[in-house]
């Protein structure tokens, strides 16, 4: 592959993937296609925007005519598809936009790629980035494996599951050379402060309440975002066509324990008295259809491609906190206007239980 399209590269994970590949593969032409929704932010890429092997194109993957024209013009031989609506709570309030972006947008890209290469797929690759949420929820035990049946519970995860199925179907039907990875919860620099860690970090800075859904006994498996980007690089280059790889942090935390840990780190970094941030914890109405537990069995990518996380959770959390504290301006930019409207609407009804 020499000409690579990365969709959603101005978002959280996408920006780390773009940076890694632009810095590592000077011989590639890397094109970042992003609609710059509320979650896309070119500030995330300011350090690499002048690189000779990098270009940004603003565009919407739901626009079929635009996407087919773009593929015809640029003739990408590889795609890493990250663009998506990604926040579960937003999907509960507005499922349709998730269906449009995550399902229709994916089909438009598959069609653009198929139109170019269906006569000869050699050396081509379509890499679809997905989530562990497609597997639904675990009970107290067990892990998600690549052969765990799909059982999505939120409009977000249903739309991602559907997009995964379309990618597979294009593989079976048209021979499209795809690879899919399903990852657990990411955290790290540049994550939009609607997701648990950056939201709570920002609220602690602002001494606002920390709205823990339900009893806080929900479990997620956390992975530092640069470790995910490294896994994506490996799967892109070494993953087997037609295969799925689960990626996870071997790092399960109950929300309430994670939040308390974050509070302790923040008290220390902000020079506040021990226990100050914990006092901000407020238990609020639960998320509808809240999945109890996610945890990944990442032994396939570990055994076959030699990937494993390089950052411990303690190190990763500290790096994340340091980054946000050093980038107050970034936070100020993304937490104005539409963010405040979303925040007030969503948390208005979430009064303490």
Burial of 270 (0-12, 13-18, 19+ CB in 10 A): middle
211's contact among ligand NAD, ligand DAU, none, with CB below 5 to 8 A by partner kind, is ligand DAU
Q: Parallel, antiparallel, or unpaired: how do β-strands 210-213 and 244-247 relate?
A: unpaired
322 is catalytic: no
User: Is residue 162 at the binding interface for ligand DAU, with CB under 6 A as the rule?
Assistant: no
User: How big is the CA angle at 108 (ends 159 and 176), to the nearest 5 degrees?
Assistant: 95
| Residue from 102, 108, 190, 255 binding ligand DAU (CB under 6 A) | 255
Question: How many residues contact ligand NAD, by CB under 6 A?
Answer: 30
| Residue from 48, 82, 317, 331 binding ligand NAD (CB under 6 A) | 82
User: Is residue 213 at the binding interface for ligand DAU, with CB under 6 A as the rule?
Assistant: yes
Contact pattern for ligand NAD over residues 267 through 306, marking x by CB under 6 A: ----------------------------------------
Least separation in angstroms between CB 275 and ligand NAD: 29
Distance in angstroms (rounded) separating the CA atoms of residues 64 and 180: 22
213's contact among ligand NAD, ligand DAU, none, with CB below 5 to 8 A by partner kind, is ligand DAU
Pair 42, 68: CB distance under 8 Å: no
294 vs 313 by CB, closer to ligand DAU: 294
User: Is residue 35 at the binding interface for ligand NAD, with CB under 6 A as the rule?
Assistant: yes
Closest CA to 13 of 218, 231, 220, 201: 231
Q: Which stretch binds ligand DAU (CB under 6 A): 34-42, 121-129, 130-138, 334-342?
A: 130-138
User: Is residue 13 at the binding interface for ligand NAD, with CB under 6 A as the rule?
Assistant: yes
Burial of 74 (0-12, 13-18, 19+ CB in 10 A): middle
Residues facing residue 296 across a β-bridge: 144
Least separation in angstroms between CB 61 and ligand DAU: 17
156 is catalytic: yes
| Residue from 31, 32, 60, 244 binding ligand NAD (CB under 6 A) | 60
Distance in angstroms (rounded) separating the CA atoms of residues 40 and 8: 7
Residue 94, both tokens:
């507005």
User: Is residue 109 at the binding interface for ligand NAD, with CB under 6 A as the rule?
Assistant: no
| Residue from 113, 166, 170, 192 binding ligand NAD (CB under 6 A) | 192
Distance in angstroms (rounded) separating the CA atoms of residues 181 and 15: 17
User: Is residue 129 at the binding interface for ligand NAD, with CB under 6 A as the rule?
Assistant: yes
Closest CA to 323 of 231, 230, 211, 198: 198
Tally of residues, the chain: 353
Q: Parallel, antiparallel, or unpaired: how do β-strands 178-183 and 125-131 relate?
A: parallel
- In order, the DSSP letters of 102-152 are IIIHHHHHHHHHHHHHTT--TT-EEEEEEEGGGG--B-SS--B-TTSPP--
Q: Which stretch binds ligand DAU (CB under 6 A): 85-93, 115-123, 161-169, 222-230?
A: 85-93
The residues assigned a catalytic role are 132-133, 156
Residues that bind ligand DAU (CB under 6 A): 86-88, 131-133, 184-185, 195-196, 199, 211-213, 218, 220, 255, 287, 294
Residues that bind ligand NAD (CB under 6 A): 7-8, 10-14, 34-37, 39-40, 60-62, 82-86, 101, 105, 129, 131, 160, 183, 185-186, 192
């Amino acid at each position: 592959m020499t000409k690579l399209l990365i969709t959603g590269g101005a978002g959280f994970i996408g920006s780390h993937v773009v940076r890694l590949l632009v810095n590592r593969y000077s011989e590639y032409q890397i094109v970042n296609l992003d609609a710059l929704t509320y979650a896309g932010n070119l500030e995330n890429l300011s350090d690499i925007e002048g690189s000779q092997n990098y270009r940004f194109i603003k565009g919407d993957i739901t626009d079929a005519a635009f996407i087919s024209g773009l593929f015809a013009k640029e003739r990408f031989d590889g795609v890493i598809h990250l663009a998506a609506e990604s926040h579960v709570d937003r999907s509960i309030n507005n499922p349709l936009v998730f269906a449009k972006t995550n399902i229709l947008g994916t089909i438009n890209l598959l069609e653009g790629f198929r139109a170019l290469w269906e006569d000869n797929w050699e050396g081509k690759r379509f890499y679809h980035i997905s989530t562990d949420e497609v597997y639904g929820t675990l009970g107290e035990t067990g892990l998600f494996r690549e052969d765990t049946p799909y059982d999505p519970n939120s409009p977000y995860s249903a739309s991602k599951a559907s997009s995964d199925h379309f990618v597979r179907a294009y593989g079976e039907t048209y021979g499209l050379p795809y690879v899919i990875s399903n990852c657990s919860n990411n955290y790290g620099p540049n994550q939009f402060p609607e997701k648990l860690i950056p939201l709570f970090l920002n609220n602690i800075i602002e001494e606002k309440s920390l709205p823990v859904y339900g009893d806080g006994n929900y479990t997620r498996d956390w992975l530092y975002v640069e470790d995910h980007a490294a896994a994506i690089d490996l799967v892109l280059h070494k993953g087997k066509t037609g295969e799925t790889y689960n990626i996870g942090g071997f790092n399960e935390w109950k929300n309430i324990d994670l939040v308390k840990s974050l509070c302790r780190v923040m008290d220390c970094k902000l020079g506040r008295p021990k226990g100050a941030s914990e006092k901000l914890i407020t238990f609020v109405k639960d998320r509808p259809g809240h999945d109890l537990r996610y945890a990944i069995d990442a032994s396939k990518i570990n055994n076959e491609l030699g990937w494993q996380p390089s950052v411990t959770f303690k190190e990763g959390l500290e790096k994340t906190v340091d980054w946000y504290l050093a980038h107050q301006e970034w936070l100020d930019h993304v937490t104005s206007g539409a963010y405040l409207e979303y925040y007030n609407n969503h948390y208005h009804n979430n009064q303490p239980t």
